[in-house]
Structure 1
Amino acid sequence: MNARRTTVVTEPGRQVALVWAGLPVLGAAVLWGVQAGADWVVSLPFAPLHGPFELVASIPEPQATFGAIGLGLLVGFVVAFMAAAERLSVEIADESVILNRGGTERMLDRTQVSGVFLEGKKLVVLGLGTEELARETSDLRGTDLADAFQRHGYPWLTEDPYRGEYRRWVDDMPGLPPGGNALLRARAKALKKNDTEDANQLRTELARLGVVVREDRKRQFWRLSSHDQARIDPDGR
């Protein structure tokens, strides 16, 4: 019996190590700098956050320095841990693609994939009806992704073949299925608040209506998948 042939694309080890080592060092350096400059800030007559800096300046040495460095290291490790939880890895096989982010896996069947491409840092997997099966942000190298997908026979595209079909969304515009404007309105609010989780959930709800959405600097652009274009006339009925 032949072993299942897979290719796993992850961030380079040196890049991961740099995050784990660099963020704690950066955190320690920043907080040490705040502690070291506290006396100078307190001496300024109109300094912002005067009270917190007075509190920092009142801590005796060497406790102040050791405390600032220790807290900075801790903050850096926490941020590195959060980055690790959001890191994406992609396992590609001839018959499926598995997207893993923070231990949560999502599998895409090869027979449902019509193409794969990168849009900036977003990995996009297209379905047979021109819908997007996945749109995932990551720091994975484009060359690694392209080589892996092509090695397993997936169509790797140089750009979005449907980019010209997107329209800029404005409230209550025609052409969307019932409920589409309401979901895009809610998603605009989520993007404004940088609520990525809510924005992604609303993207999924829009996909169920046959609406494909992307954003550029919090402006939303949309198109219909081919499954739904024939059901909706230009007046949105």
Structure 2
Amino acid sequence: MDARRSTVVAEPRSQVALVWAGFPVLGAAVLFGLRSIAGWVAGLSWAPMQGPFRLVASVPEPWAMIGSLGIGAVGGLVIAGMAAYERLSVEVFDEGVEFNRGGRLRNFDRTLVSGVFVDGKKLVLLGVDTGELARESSDLKTADLARAFQRHGYQWLEKDPYEDRYRRWAAGTPDLPPGADALLKVRAEALRKGDHEDAAQLREELSRLGVVVREDKKRQFWRLTRSLP
């Protein structure tokens, strides 16, 4: 068993428990409410989705009530499970950092991390070449993250030290490394479609070309990495 000293930052257990308990109750309540008004809505000639409401209204009791409560609760559990899969926890060691999102682990060696900061809802690890090792969305408290990283001797930054170097991307932007403009075009389309997984993969491709990219309302901003003095 690994006995290394570490600090874990995760969402409070009470908050996690509330999600698991609350979403099934909320789902059951919503479907129970829809079942209650199904007959009334089905009688409105102008209301949309007449077919589903007529179908629900035709189900006899007590099966309609049992079904609405059961399906609503199951739907709430599915949503709670999706939230758990996307929940981020951070474990900070003297020797490195581990991100855990839904059982998917990412590890970063301490020698590669030059600084840590929070940019909005993003936790960012800076590399020694001024690039970004990671930019992860989370709802973790900034104060908890700062204490954890400082406790293990990492440099905690109040903001992005390179924020004034970002330029807004537009197709055909000069000064980009070969291939970066094409990747940014593809990434812009991924952002437009809401394909966050593809956008994250393209961010990693750009980082290998020495390009750091971030977005604001689907607009992309970029800067180049450089060696630290």
Identify the TM-score tier after normalising by the shorter chain. Answer: over 0.9
User: Which residue type is aligned with residue 167 of structure 2?
Assistant: R
Provide TM-score, normalisation by structure 1. 0.93
- Partner of 2:52 in structure 1? 52
- Partner of 1:106 in structure 2? 106
Tell me whether 1:219 sits opposite 2:219 in the alignment. yes
Give percent identity, aligned residues only: 65
**What's the secondary structure of 1:226's corresponding residue?**
coil
* 1:176-199: CA deviation from partner (whole Å, max 9, x where unpaired): 111111111111111111111111
Q: Distance in 1 between matches of 2:46 and 2:175?
A: 55
* 1:85-133: CA deviation from partner (whole Å, max 9, x where unpaired): 1111111011111111111211111111111001111100000111000
Question: What pairs up with 1:16-55 in 2 under 5 angstroms?
Answer: 16-55=16-55
User: Which residue type is aligned with residue 49 of structure 2?
Assistant: L
Gaps of 5+ in 1: 228-237
- Partner of 2:73 in structure 1? 73
Residue 216 of structure 1 deviates from its aligned partner by 0.8
Provide TM-score, normalisation by structure 2. 0.96
Q: Distance in 2 between matches of 1:18 and 1:218?
A: 32
Q: Distance in 2 between matches of 1:197 and 1:57?
A: 40
Count the aligned residue pairs.
226
Residue 40 of structure 1 deviates from its aligned partner by 1.3
- Structure 1: which 4+ aligned runs deviate by more than 3 Å? none
User: Which residue type is aligned with residue 198 of structure 1?
Assistant: D
Q: Distance in 1 between matches of 2:19 and 2:91?
A: 22
Residue 53 of structure 1 deviates from its aligned partner by 0.9
- Partner of 1:234 in structure 2? none
Gaps of 5+ in 2: none
Question: What pairs up with 1:1-237 in 2 under 5 angstroms?
Answer: 3-227=3-227
**What's the secondary structure of 1:90's corresponding residue?**
strand
Q: Distance in 2 between matches of 1:65 and 1:135?
A: 45
